[in-house]
Structures are given as structure tokens and as C-alpha cells.
A and B are shown apart, each in its own frame.
Chain A
Amino acid sequence: MAKRIEVSGLNVYYGDFKAVEDVSMTIEPRSVTAFIGPSGCGKSTYLRTLNRMHEVIPGARVEGKVMLDQQDLYASGVDPVAVRRVVGMVFQRPNPFPTMSIFDNVASGLKLNGVKDRKKLTEVVERSLHGANLWNEVKDRLDKPGAGLSGGQQQRLCIARAIAVEPEVILMDEPCSALDPISTLAIEDLIEKLKDRFTVVIVTHNMQQAARVSDQTAFFNLAATGKPGRLIEMGPTKQIFSNPNEKATEDYITGRFG
């Protein structure tokens, strides 16, 4: 498990509008890579191209290459549904399925893809909830609705749901922005643990969070409103935060942006 992602010359369009321009980067397996940058700079858009999630929006398209080890995710004949089974995603707002219990939420990825073996499902649910540091809090109420948990617990439930299908890569789109500091800490601890098994990519607006959890940091920026977002620089998190190569990066990190 855990694969390397290599992106080269990626442009993302919404219809005629170019949202992200010419991004090339390598994301290392079994590590955490953080994307930082101001709002609207295209980091979430770019993140969603890594599992072809942007295609959900009509008119969105991509130029360039995204290689998962040796396979091009945008080669003809590649099924986006199959890609998403390998590259999972956690969203900004916790979004457990409201009609399902905690158990069914975690098992949903397997169940909806046809796994019926109750023993296997029970096993996977327990392992995934352990993996998401949620087991002890919910083990006595697995049959209760997932929507009844607190926001932080719901987000960990969503992470358990994502890791239950055993992906290679987990993408996280500002997973803590709707959570309080204690829940945020719980998720950050969890990210630290997840990188033993998965390639983790996280978009965050919280600079301290990027510094705390990531091994690599990529800074995105846009020249002006209406212009496409670009990758300004990427490197080891320590270096980006202590000695960035670009003036724009330094300005953003130190809060002298604009």
C-alpha cells in the first residue's frame, strides 16, 4: 500500500476558465504532504484532480499527467470510479450518511461495492474505527445513527469510512476547518498515525497545522483575482517554514501577505 504520485504539467479548467496552471510535483508515499495558500488559489481544485473528483462538476477538465506509481490516472480507458477506490477523500465538513448507522457508515464503501460477508464487514469496521481513533468512543453504539456524533467524532467517522476501503492515498480537504481545537488535535494525531500506511495529502489554511503534521509543504498562490493558481514552491516542511526560496512564500507564512 501507499503509492507515489507524480504530477507533471497539470492545467485545470472550469469551462473556459483556467483555475490551476502548470503544476508539477512529486508526492512521496508514506508521508504527509500539505498544500497551503490563500483562498481561491486552486489548492482544493488541484487536490480534487488527484482522484478525478473535479469531474463531478460539469465543464471541469484537465490537461497534463497524474501518475500513480507507473499508471496514468488520465489515460484513456481509466475509470474514475476505479481511481476513487484507490485514492480516497475526506471533506471539509463531516458528511456521514444520515440514513445509516455508525457501523453502516464505516462499512458503506464495502457494502455499496457488493461485500456481504457479515464477518468480514464486522472485522473491517472494527479495524477502521481503531485506525481512526474512534473505536473506544462508539463501540457500544455502533447501531446508532452516525449523524448523532459530535462534529469531531463525525469527521473521524468519515476518516474511518475512507480507510475502510483500503485506499493507497488519502486526500483531505481542510479536514479540521469545521472543528474545535481538541477535535483538531485528535485528527492531527490520527494523520500522524495514518502516514505509516497511506500516502496522505492535506489542504489546510492553518499554517501551524501544516508545520505540525506534514513532511512536505507546497505553497500555492495566484497572481491576481481571475488569474489561474500556480505552485510557487514545494519542499521539506522545515525548510519552507524556516528558509523559503521565494519571497511570496515567506510573506504568506509570516502573515505579511498582500
Chain B
Amino acid sequence: MTTTLAANRPAYDGKTLDLTGKSGARAFRNTLASVLITLCFLIALIPLVWILWTVISKGYGLLLDGGWWSESQRGVTVRREGGGAYHAIMGTLIMALITAVIAVPIAILGAIYLVEYGRGTKAARVVSFMIDILTGVPSIVAALFVYAVWITVFGFNRVGFAVSLSLVLLMLPVVLRSTEEMLKLVPDELREASYALGVPKWKTILKVVVPTAFGGIITGVMLGLARVMGETAPLLILVGYSKNINLNPFEGFMGALPTMINQDRTELALQPAADRVWAAALTLILLVLLLNILARLVARFSKVNSK
């Protein structure tokens, strides 16, 4: 149907517009950029795939053996096959657990202070700056600091607990920063809604703000744990490597996966030792992966009525 208005206008002026678009030069630049981006992505992927492939292909053999998960390296020399990583797995888990128990509450409460109470104050700026510095502290410096306090000043022995103390210094800033970011993401409208119901501030934080940010907080804790479990310098400095099973973090030397790798690495030319190095590395990766999956499940099921 044509209206009178449209009828008075020429519908078609005879000229054809060039809508084919890409001129040669622009098409070339577009292709070049696309190729470059894809190439960079593939290059970034190379080390990741390479590492995973190397570790899995060389390490999976020993992991299939039940003894790996239940026996220690007691009496096994680098030249001999056999034994397991039970002592090292337990050592790594125990030290990581103690670290988390100390670091996580401090980090979360610290983040709550920074976001909910100290926002804009001088104290908060100072704390925030200190956390930034702490983030950059190398693990060996943290280890030496704990060595100076725990062993030189207090005169205690080199034990697993001392390792945990130095790992706390490394985990704290990671968890605090990520928790802080997650709390900042909680909209102020939710806090106001709670205040408007006559709910005190501390209860608003505990029952509204933290549950809303819970998934993100858990992810931060996991990132912190993953970083801490692979640290080697504190283990070398603060606790000797033991091939025996020792579950007491306050007495005696303790095995751990990174130091187990370090021990067998000294005789990498020997096949039994090399096998154990790769198997221990794969075990460490799997542990971190397992904890990650576990945390995600916890975060999902703690969400009330998510479906």
C-alpha cells in the first residue's frame, strides 16, 4: 500500500551504492590481525599443554599402583623402585590445612574491615598498602623471616608448623585481596535493604553481605591454597625432608610433595627416581584440582535454594 506522501517521492534514484565493503587493504589488515591473535593464543597454550602432557605421560604409571597412595619412602633409596608418596601427600595436606585455618579467618575478617568499616579511612589505606607489599614478598623471604623468629629468637626446632607460619604470610594477601574484591561487588542496595528492616550492621554483614559473596570468597581461598601447596623454599628452610610418615606438625621432619620432588631430582638419571619425580608432580597437580572441585561443590550447595 502506498500512501500519498510516499507516492510523491521518487522511490529509486537510479544510483547503485557500493555496499561490498572491505577494500583490499582493510581486508588484508583484518586477516593479519586475526592470524596474529590466534597465533598468540596458540603460543600461550603451548607451555600449558606441554607441561600437562609431560607430567601426565611420565607420571601416571606410578599413580595406578595402590602402594603410591598408602606407603612412604622409608628405606627406599633413589636407586630402588617402590614405596609411595603417602608421607608427602599427608605432609602437604597437613601443612596446607594449618595454613588455611590460620590465614583464612584473618584474611576474611581483614577484608570485611577494609570494605565495611574502614572504607576511606587512613588506617584502611595503610593496611591496604601493607597487603600490597606482602603480596610481592618472595616465599624464601617469608621463610627466612619465620626462621629468624621461630628458630633464632624462640629457639624452637624446624617443624611442619613453622612452614605453615611462613605459608600464612603468602596466603593471607591473596585471600584478603580476592575477598575484598568480592565484598565490593555486593551492591549497597542489599545492605540498605537490611538496615531498613532494623537489622544491625554486624548482622547485615554476617547474614546478607558475606553469604552473597560466598562463592567468590571460596574461589579466593582456593587460589591461595593452590599457590601455597606448591611452595618449596619454606619447606627446604623450615623443615627437613623425611621419608617416613610423620603426621605431627610440631615434632620432627616431615615429607611434602615439593621436597619429595626435590629429593629424587638429585638422581634424575636413575629411572626409579625420575619416575617418582613425575608421579609426585602429577599428584600435586591432582591435589590442587581436587580441592578446586571440592570448593566449587561447597559453594554451589551452600547457596540456598539456587534452583
Contacts and interface: CB of A to CB of B under 8 A. Distances in A.
B16 to A, nearest CB: 45
Interface string A134-151: 000000000111000000
Interface in A67-120: 81-86, 88-89, 91, 93, 95-101, 104, 108-109, 112-113
A43 to B, nearest CB: 17
A158 interface: yes
Which of A84, A93, A158, A165 gathers the greatest number of chain B CB atoms within 10 Å? A84
Contact of B189 (A83, A95, A161): A95
By secondary structure, the B interface counts as: helix
Contacts of B195: 53, 56, 81, 84
A255 interface: no
B213 to A, nearest CB: 10
Contacts of A98: 190, 212
A58 interface: yes
Which of A88, A98, A99, A161 gathers the greatest number of chain B CB atoms within 10 Å? A99
Contacts of B207: 112
Given A53-B195, A158-B193, A145 B187 contact: no
Given A93-B189, A144-B305, A162 B197 contact: yes
B197 A84 contact: yes
B305 A145 contact: yes
A162 B199 contact: no
Interface residues of A, number: 33
Interface string B184-208: 0001111111111111100110011
B211 interface: yes
Contacts of B194: 97, 108, 112
Nearest to B214: A99
Nearest to B207: A112
Interface in B160-191: 187-191
Interface in A149-185: 158, 161-162, 165
A161 B208 CA distance: 14
B80 interface: no
> Sorted from nearest, which 4 A-B pairs have the closest CB atoms?
A85-B198, A109-B197, A89-B196, A95-B189
Given A81-B198, A99-B304, 6 more contacts: A53-B192, A81-B195, A84-B195, A101-B305, A112-B194, A112-B207
